[in-house]
Structure 1
């Protein structure tokens, strides 16, 4: 019985040994097919990790070859200077120079070839969200941080796949080396071990870096999100306050229009309300978003000196606006005259802002005689009130001004009669304005010292080289002086032409004929004088 069992065991062992010998080639072929699949993945052009490692390995090979060439070069330089040795030295020097240039080009792979793949970009610390403008910056930082984290996570996943493939390749090569021991496979196995060791070390570092960066992104995102929410709530409160100020200002303006009927007072009140409203809004924004008021005062103190020089005209305009508003030299609706660089502009004030006066040029004697243009919008900087001739035709409620008409009659004319005619015509058309002016001047006596309040039309007679000049002065509407001037001038011309003893003087030339000579005694024809 024991003999039978021994024979059976021997048969089965022989059969198993034969089956193993037959199956070994089949198993090796399958492993090599698997290795081809793994190598296709590792050698793919999109596999950035193996590319980096290949460059890193090439750099190390170059460094090792440089050391080998240096040793050989040192050895040949010590030998005798034969022609063969000199040629070898020259060859080694050229080779060393080439290798040095290659090493210089691949310097980025000296330490860590995977640094740009495993380390996040340095963006610096984001500032705290202290105002609505920084909310956009905070959102941008959160978005960029999340994108960077997603990129690192993708890199980490791709590295894991590469490491797993290298581990599989190492196991397959190990089995092939054990089974067959082919030298090429042994070399490939060692190279795979080196690559796996380098990438596994990188994976461990990357895992730690990624974990720390993920926590940092989460903390920053949470902090910035809370600050954004706080600033949003704060902005809503400030917006409600500003809206209430606008509504209050609107209600005040409606009340002013309802209970005040003087347009000038309505305009002034609206300006005051707008200025107060704007000031309150500025203060609300400053105290809401300015963390250190002392810092603002310090900055303004240093900046004011430079601004005062660089923006002198601007500050002077603001100061001029204060003088105009407080002093009351000019009001909206006044007719003013401004002279600058030989040009004169007369018009009605449309608006007085912080920086300038806006006026509408009217049709006046100045536009008729000098500018030949009217209806333009003139912008007068407020600082002109300190440096330029400013005239107000309607200051303190005055609505009239003196205007004059000059004309010349001949010396032979009855000048007394003409003066009386001109005065009668002037009094007729200027009577209403004369009474208005008298009442206005009586009201001005409480504010100004007025010595001469005679507002009746006046006539002046002056001797001129070509006749007697008569100048008639009268009160007229400050806004329509040219109209009354035209009317009175036409009446005076009609009256002057109707008087036979009055003639208008104008430049003339008198030609006198020479005296006739005595006729000659011999009866000759007298000469003709041309």
Structure 2
């Protein structure tokens, strides 16, 4: 009876123990399933991580290298064998060798460690030297670039940190699974996970150190460039103030010149000189402020001057001509000049004298009436033309008058003495004002030139010409309105001659004699020779 009771108790205990073990196994299985799902979720997450992909490609490349080495070793063993099995094996190994070589070629970019770019200390590009305000733009771009590179570097470090965190979680889950079910998860899986994690941890530690050094370099470069920008801005501000002072001083000079110089021509010349001096001074300020080695520039210009002088000969001659014009005083703005180029004469007023040319406005003159038959054009005279051509100035210095002449023909039967007297009186009457002005102007020119003949009274000459008796009248007239006085004097002389009975104006005529045409006479037949008779 006791044995039965003991057996019943033992059976009941075994049954309870079996049920307990079954319950524990079910709980462990469920827990293991949950852990496996977590590991799978981590694997799915890290698959999209750039560092994990690069590391996987790097391992694949190394594995392919090992396989290729193994295949090469096996291929050497069967290379000389000639039996059928060895030949088939050699062909199979050769095919595999070619396939591995192609795969290695495709993965060539993953030859080196994927962490080489972030674990090495990256040197910054040489930051630009700020020597002028324009360089500030490139300096700001440089600062923006290195800060953007630093942010990209930090993003790579963050992705690596996230990957290390996920791999640590994965390793912990694998170890926990191993503790529950050692048969399912072996130590090799833990070793591989630990090895993979260690590779990323080492890269993380070195990358963090490299990033810290990179940040310090970026901060140092930013501070230096910021200091250079501040210094350059202060320098530009000081130069700007100095230029403003020069401009204000120039405006004051122009104001005083306009107020105290009443002559328009002198004011124009003074204004040009002030502008030229102002621009030159500003250029010199900028030149000596922003060119570090001016002597080097002078040396370069010295070597290049010969070639420049040949290539830009006309420009240099025009600049030299401008200096002669400005400082020599031969021409001024407002002067009336006559230029002859390629056989064509041009007469006009100078409206501007620049560094390379004179701008001339063509006016209606005797030249335009006789030769050009048009006027009103603006033409440009290169300054270098004063060295190679004759340029007439109708209003040089104080002169504002020129000699003008007119020819009037009378017949040989006219009273030429009376005609000359009438022409002289009319010419004196209408040119008297200009004659007085010319006399004063010539007296003023005596201080500058040696003038011997200063007779400005009208001059009347008489000549015998084929078409009649020529009365040549010369008189002083306004340089800018010679045609007006010419027309007035000519018309007055013609009217005076027309009122005189003994004076006849001559003009070109042609005599044509028209008479009765006589028939040619022929000798009588009896005087003709036999040959002549046969012709008629």
TM-score by length of 1: 0.86
Query: What are structure 1's unaligned runs of at least 5 residues?
Result: 1-6, 521-530
| Residue pair 1:118, 1:152 contacting (<8 A) in 2 also | no
Q: Cα deviation per residue 1:1-47 (whole Å; 9 max; x = unaligned)? A: xxxxxx9xx99999986665333212211111111221221122xx3
* Cα offset, 1:122, TM superposition: 6.6
Distance of 2:323 and 2:121 partners within structure 1: 58
Q: Work out whether 1:309 is the aligned partner of 2:310.
A: yes
* Cα offset, 1:505, TM superposition: 4.2
Which shows bigger deviation, 245-254 or 155-164?
Answer: 245-254
The alignment of Structure 1 onto Structure 2 pairs a total of residues equal to 509
Superposition map of 1:258-407 within 5 A: 258-407=259-408
Structure 1 residues 508 and 214: alpha-carbon distance in aligned structure 2, compared to 1, 3 A threshold: same
| Residue pair 1:120, 1:148 contacting (<8 A) in 2 also | no
Distance of 2:121 and 2:313 partners within structure 1: 51
Structure 1 residues 488 and 52: alpha-carbon distance in aligned structure 2, compared to 1, 3 A threshold: farther
1:143 maps to: 144
| Residue pair 1:118, 1:155 contacting (<8 A) in 2 also | no
* Cα offset, 1:413, TM superposition: 4.2
Which shows bigger deviation, 218-227 or 49-58?
Answer: 49-58
Distance of 1:183 and 1:355 partners within structure 2: 97
Q: Work out whether 1:35 is the aligned partner of 2:39.
A: yes
Distance of 1:103 and 1:427 partners within structure 2: 113
| 2:26 pairs with one of 3, 22, 28 | 22
Distance of 1:372 and 1:113 partners within structure 2: 87
Structure 1 residues 344 and 107: alpha-carbon distance in aligned structure 2, compared to 1, 3 A threshold: farther
* Cα offset, 1:141, TM superposition: 0.9
SS in 2 for 1:78: coil
Query: What are structure 2's unaligned runs of at least 5 residues?
Result: 1-9, 522-536
Distance of 1:311 and 1:473 partners within structure 2: 46
Structure 1 residues 513 and 110: alpha-carbon distance in aligned structure 2, compared to 1, 3 A threshold: same
TM-score by length of 2: 0.85
Distance of 1:401 and 1:494 partners within structure 2: 25
2:78 maps to: 76
Structure 1 residues 464 and 196: alpha-carbon distance in aligned structure 2, compared to 1, 3 A threshold: farther
| Residue pair 1:340, 1:389 contacting (<8 A) in 2 also | no
SS in 1 for 2:472: strand
Q: Work out whether 1:208 is the aligned partner of 2:209.
A: yes
Which shows bigger deviation, 451-460 or 12-21?
Answer: 12-21
Which shows bigger deviation, 126-135 or 390-399?
Answer: 126-135
Superposition map of 1:426-441 within 5 A: 426-441=427-442
| Residue pair 1:351, 1:358 contacting (<8 A) in 2 also | yes
Distance of 1:362 and 1:280 partners within structure 2: 38
Distance of 2:372 and 2:182 partners within structure 1: 111
2:488 maps to: 487
| Residue pair 1:173, 1:185 contacting (<8 A) in 2 also | no
Distance of 1:507 and 1:85 partners within structure 2: 129
* Cα offset, 1:503, TM superposition: 4.3
Distance of 1:182 and 1:508 partners within structure 2: 144
SS in 1 for 2:397: helix
CA RMSD of aligned residues (A): 3.2
Structure 1 residues 13 and 397: alpha-carbon distance in aligned structure 2, compared to 1, 3 A threshold: farther
* Cα offset, 1:224, TM superposition: 1.1
1:232 maps to: 233
* Cα offset, 1:165, TM superposition: 1.0
Distance of 1:310 and 1:169 partners within structure 2: 78
1:526 maps to: none
Structure 1 residues 36 and 313: alpha-carbon distance in aligned structure 2, compared to 1, 3 A threshold: same
Distance of 1:264 and 1:116 partners within structure 2: 74
Distance of 2:390 and 2:426 partners within structure 1: 34
| Residue pair 1:120, 1:152 contacting (<8 A) in 2 also | no
* Cα offset, 1:90, TM superposition: 4.0
Distance of 2:471 and 2:120 partners within structure 1: 99
* Cα offset, 1:407, TM superposition: 4.0
SS in 2 for 1:430: helix
2:51 maps to: 49
Q: Cα deviation per residue 1:497-517 (whole Å; 9 max; x = unaligned)? A: 444544444443322123576
SS in 2 for 1:513: coil
